[in-house]
């Protein structure tokens, strides 16, 4: 940009200095409908520069009006809060129909005339996440961040976390999850996203630690929680069976609540893995408790 400005100034300077050095300002003649207008070349250049300046100022004023949130600005660019609401409604219908790409486009359009642009960009970003368009979703989140108000921060963080998990940015997502769990430890959606992340990275112990609060806030149905619990405990037993310390599994098992110790599925899994580790005596103890 600076280089272009320097070239432009050199050209303008040449227009002025050239004729002056030749002691001849030259002339410019215009004939319009039998009218003849003549002036010096320097005068013509000055008038042209003034005309360009006026056009530039006029364009800036128009841009200011078109980008304003006033009724005139909305009318001039054919946008209004009412149209934005209609677009959001249409986009929500498309989301239900599974047309994520078109829904994202409508959410983006609604942002131009919406009173809350952050909401429109967040909805568009979520639609793009559902459509696996992660680059576009990240760009929309950047737009949402520009005008994000304190009351919208939590929603913004949730959408951002969903993108991180889907995009397999596990280290970043883990940091985000820990921050959100500290901020809202009983929020069902935070717990569900934390659960999803920990399962993806195979951190079954973290899932086990979340289970009590997930049961309390009913993050999932009872049957889903039972299934999640079984997957987490069996997965953790399998993980510990591969530990270099064969006693690590036994120590962990003995530290579990009575309800877990009396669960037949977990008892059978423990006995099988203990046998593989050569801990026959411990395996027989568990099998005996199952028989009795």
pLDDT tens for residues 14-25?
555 555 555 555
* Least confident span in 51-55, 80-84, 107-111, 158-162: 80-84
Say which residue, 167 or 105, is predicted with more confidence. Answer: 167
pTM here is: 0.66
Could you tell me the two tokens for 147? 């005008």
Tell me the pLDDT of the chain averaged across its residues.
79
- Give the burial string for 232-264 (b: 16+ CB within 10 Å, else e): bbbbbbebbbeeeeeeebbebbeebeeeeeebe
- Specify the domain boundaries for CATH 1.25.40.10 within the chain: 79-291
- Say if CB 250 and CB 222 are below 8 A apart: no
Say which residue, 83 or 166, is predicted with more confidence. Answer: 166
Please report the pLDDT score of residue 27 as a whole number: 64
Please report the pLDDT score of residue 127 as a whole number: 87
With a cut of 80, say whether residue 171 has pLDDT above it.
yes
Q: Classify residue 37 by its DSSP letter.
A: E
Say which residue, 278 or 188, is predicted with more confidence. Answer: 188
CATH number of 79-291: 1.25.40.10
Please report the pLDDT score of residue 78 as a whole number: 46
Could you tell me the two tokens for 92? 């929500």
Residue for token digits 């559902």?
130
With 0-12 CB in 10 A as exposed, 13-18 as middle and 19+ as buried, what is 116? middle
With a cut of 70, say whether residue 80 has pLDDT above it.
no
């Amino acid at each position: 940009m600076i280089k272009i400005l320097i070239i432009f100034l050199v050209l303008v300077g040449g227009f002025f200095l050239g004729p002056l050095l030749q002691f001849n300002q030259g002339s410019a003649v215009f004939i319009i409908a039998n009218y003849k207008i003549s002036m010096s070349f320097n005068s013509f250049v000055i008038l042209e520069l003034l005309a360009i300046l006026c056009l530039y100022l006029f364009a800036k004023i128009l841009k200011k009006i078109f980008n304003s949130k006033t009724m005139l600005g909305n009318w001039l660019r054919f946008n209004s809060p009412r149209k934005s609401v209609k677009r959001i409604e249409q986009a929500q219908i498309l989301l239900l129909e599974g047309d994520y790409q078109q829904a994202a486009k409508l959410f983006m359009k609604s942002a131009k005339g919406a009173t809350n642009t952050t909401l429109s960009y967040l909805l568009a970003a979520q639609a793009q996440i559902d459509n696996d368009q992660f680059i576009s979703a990240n760009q929309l989140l950047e737009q949402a961040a520009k005008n994000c108000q304190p009351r919208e921060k939590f929603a913004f963080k949730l959408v951002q976390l969903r993108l991180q998990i889907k995009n397999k940015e596990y280290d970043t997502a883990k940091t985000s999850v820990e921050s959100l769990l500290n901020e809202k430890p009983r929020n069902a959606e935070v717990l569900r996203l934390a659960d999803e992340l920990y399962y993806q990275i195979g951190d079954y112990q973290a899932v086990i630690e979340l289970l009590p609060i997930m049961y309390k806030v009913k993050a999932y149905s009872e049957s889903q929680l039972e299934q999640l619990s079984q997957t987490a405990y069996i997965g953790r037993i399998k993980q510990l069976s591969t530990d270099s310390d064969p006693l690590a599994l036994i120590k962990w098992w003995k530290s579990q609540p009575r309800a877990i110790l009396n669960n037949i599925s977990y008892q059978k899994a423990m006995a099988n893995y203990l046998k593989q580790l050569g801990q026959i005596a411990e395996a027989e103890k568990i099998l005996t408790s199952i028989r009795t």
